[in-house]
Every structure is written in C-alpha cells, then in structure tokens.
Amino acid sequence: MSRLVRSLDGMTVATTLFRFDDSYARKVPGLSVPWAAAPVPAPELLVLNEELARELGADPAALREPPGVLLLVGQAPKGVTTVAQAYAGHQFGVYVPRLGDGRALLLGEVSDIHGRRRDLHLKGSGRTPFARGGDGKAAVGPMLREYLIAEAMDGLGIPTTRALAVVATGERVFRERALRGAVLTRVAASHLRVGTFQYAAASGDRDRLRALADYAIARHYPEAAAAPSRYLDLFRQVTAAQAALVARWMLAGFVHGVMNTDNTTISGETIDYGPCAFMDAYDPATVFSSIDHGGRYAYGNQPAIMQWNLARLAETLLPLIDENSEAAAEAATEVLSGFPGAYQRHWDEGMAAKLGLAAQDRELAEDLLELMRAQQVDFTRFFRALSAGTARTMFTKPEPFDAWAARRAAAMAADQAAAAAAMDRVNPVYIPRNHRVEEALTRAARGEMGPFHRLLDAVSRPFDERPGLEDYAGPAPAGSAPHVTYCGT
C-alpha cells in the first residue's frame, strides 16, 4: 500500500493511492523474478488517464503529486515487491524458450471499484534478467502510441489493456538517435499469455504448470473449476474469448502486426501496441510492420494465426487435460476445430450490424468487401457513408456497387431510419488514422502535447461525429507514402 501525505487547508490528509497484492508471485512461484525499477532522474507526468485512475480506486490528484509520479515510474513504496515475469513464445513462428519482461515490471495487482483484479505494469522501467542485451528503456513516442491506441480500442468496445499514465524520465534513450525517455503504466486483466504457459510447460514441472492453470481459472474463468475437465474447459473458454476478440479486430479494420504467442493473452484482451495500425483502403493483404516481410500477420491472416497460437496453448495443456496423451490431443483438437465457426459467427453478426441488415448475410458482406478491395475504398468511412446514403460516391466505378446496394436494400429492415441510427452506433467516425498518429507523436516528442490530446479526444469517443474534428475522419492525402510501423513499444 502506498500513502501520499499532502497539505489541504492547513490539515494533513493521507490519501491512499493503491492497495497492492502479489497473488501471481505467491501462487505461481518460479514464473517471476523480484526486481526493482531503474532510478529516474527527472520524472515528468505527460498524460494521466483520470477516468481509469478513478476506476482503479485512486485519486487522480494524488497521482499528479511528486510521490504519485514516482510510483508511476516504479519507485514502489515500502512493502511492495515489483517483479519481472517470465514467458516464452513463438515469434513469427519461431520458438524462443526464454523471453520475459525485458524492460517491464509488474508493479502489483489492485482491485478496482467493480471488484475486478487488475495488473499495474510498467514498460520502460529498466533492464531485467530477461533483457536480452537491451537497455530496458523506452522512448516517449512509442509509449504515447500505446496509450493512444489502447484508448481508441477501448472507445470502440474492443477488449484491451489500457494505459494509466506516461511519464517522461528526464533522460535520453538511444535508438537510431537520442530520444526522450519515458515509462508507461499499463493496466490489464492480467499479463498471463500463451507464452507464459509455454514457459511453464517447457520447465517439465507439472506442478508449476498446474498451479499456473489453476491461477488462470481462478482469475479469469472461475466457472471452469466446476467443469468435468477443468483444464479442457479453460482451453475452451480462452478459445471462445479469442474468437470474439479477433472478430472485433477484423470488423474495425485493425491490424495487430505482431501476433506472437507471447502477445496472445489468456484473458482475451488485446495487448502490445507496437507495429499495429488501422487500415485505410480495404485490402486483406494489408501489412504495416517493417519486419513482417512475408505478411504472416497481415490483416486477412489474423483469424488463422490466432487459431495457430491457440494450438500452441493446447499443446501445453495436454498433460493436464488427460493422462492419456491421445485422448488429451483428441479433446483439445475438438475444441480447437470449433474456432473458425465461433469466429465466423461473431464476424457475421458484427457485419450484419455494420450493414444495417435484418439478418446475417455472409455472401452479401463478402461481395461488398471484394468490391471495396477492387476499388480501394476506405474501410472506416464507407460504413458511415452507407448509413448517410452517400456511399456510392466512394466508388470510381459505381455500377457494381449499385447492383450490390439493390441486394442490400432487399435485406434491410423496414425502418431504414432506425437501421441507419443503429449502424452509426457500431461504425466509428474516428479511428487513429496513421498519418494523424505519426503527426501527434512527432510533435509530442518535441514537447507539444496539444495534437496528441486532440487526437485522443477524437478516438476516445469514436462514434460521435463532432464539429471541428473533420480532419480526423479521413485517410492520408492521395500520394502519401505507405505507412510503416516498428516494434518500438
């Protein structure tokens, strides 16, 4: 527990920031290492998520005071032990047996005002035993990027980790050039990953693996504890959560960019906003990452990659599912084989809502996407234009769209005004347009936070069209260079 003492009207007031727990380190030994954050010479709070702070039961004003800012860079109060978490992972399909928090620390777990256990986690807090030669630091731009994209995802209703704060450290970090250093405080349902299970399974310690699985059940899927096969049910529920999550990504035009197994959560939250971006013109082959030369994590590949990642989770759980390895593999395969159908049901339902249809119509939806691909139509703007009745103007050759629109009209509900209003509740006006993100981060790196806050305001309420934000609703000007992202977070 951390306490901040401050003066108010001549009285000394004790304000509790957080009451930390360390259940993961206690209940699953061997999967984390006690470690302290590096000292920070001159911490400066750049952005604080006050709404999230209140949700966590903290006083935003107290977090802005010097002791609160020190907490946000990992200067933990007495009695709190920060830890670096261990995990493995398949990175671009290649297994790496030891990854872990190379520049991150679990500050602790807190119960929010709804009674949910949440992790407070630091990024850029210095080298750990898992650093693999890195300096353990982070720069302002990538940390603000994660803050921005996470809040945009939350605004879209997509399960995600969130950012509580970004604090500049007052020191320089060296990449291609010297950059301002920063620490991000991230909030997650937990940081359990497929890679965490891979690490535990590779140890050969079945008791450790079982402790991890039991912890995941208790924290995320407590109903699985009563299932006839609790570990198979854990796998079933993780699979269901990830099927729903990836469908939401696809419906929003989101490209994660680095779907390694160490970036696949057990909770079903989106995690790690490094080389991610949102599509402008619809194209299933869209890739933004500078290192994804083969398109492994292209937009259109995301459902299949998630199923592949879940197969790696299944492999770790086989010894717990059944002592008979063949029976365990058969049971897990049956669950895994249901992933495509579960994903497709979520996608069909979501696309019907985006199109204002009275019932799901996969053929109609897929035919539209092919038209959009062929004519390079902007994915996000199209659906708002469709509800407004102006979508035809987005096609350079509108005749094929006219034929499609006639089919859609026959499939719509009778009350078209109500359908259009419902469409606007699921189709955003504002997403983090790539050129706007880069512009905001470039200026923030120079100390100009205004563009960042303006963009953050737009994408945090993405469905509400507001005057003065027109510049945030469209793609980059024609002829702009292709957008490229990097694994900077």
The residues annotated with a catalytic role in the active site are 262
Angle at alpha carbon of residue 82, lines to 81 and 84, rounded to 5°:
135
- Strand ranges (E), 316-360: none
Please tell me whether residue 417 adopts helix, strand or coil conformation.
helix
What does each C-alpha distance from 126 to 30, 51, 174, 263, 425 come to in angstroms?
21, 28, 13, 20, 42
The CA distance from 319 to 355, in Å, is 45
The CA distance from 41 to 59, in Å, is 25
CA dihedral 404, 346, 297, 339 (to 10 degrees): -130
List the strands of the sheet with 32-34, edge to edge. Answer: 32-34, 83-85, 104-111, 117-123, 178-188, 162-174, 44-48
169, 42 Cβ separation under 8 angstroms: yes
Are β-strands 44-48 and 162-174 bridged in parallel, bridged antiparallel, or unpaired? antiparallel
Task: Name the residue with tokens 């059940």.
Answer: 217
The CA distance from 212 to 192, in Å, is 9
Tally Cβ neighbours within 10 Å of residue 353: 18
- Kindly state the DSSP code that residue 175 receives in the 8-state scheme: S
Query: Hey, what are 182's tokens?
Result: 């920063």
The DSSP-derived string for 22-43 is: -HHHHHSTTSEEE--PPP-SS-
CB-count burial class (<10 Å; 0-12, 13-18, 19+) for 321? buried
What does each C-alpha distance from 226 to 27, 221, 229, 231 come to in angstroms?
20, 10, 8, 10
Find, among 414, 395, 400, the residue nearest to 356 by Cα.
414
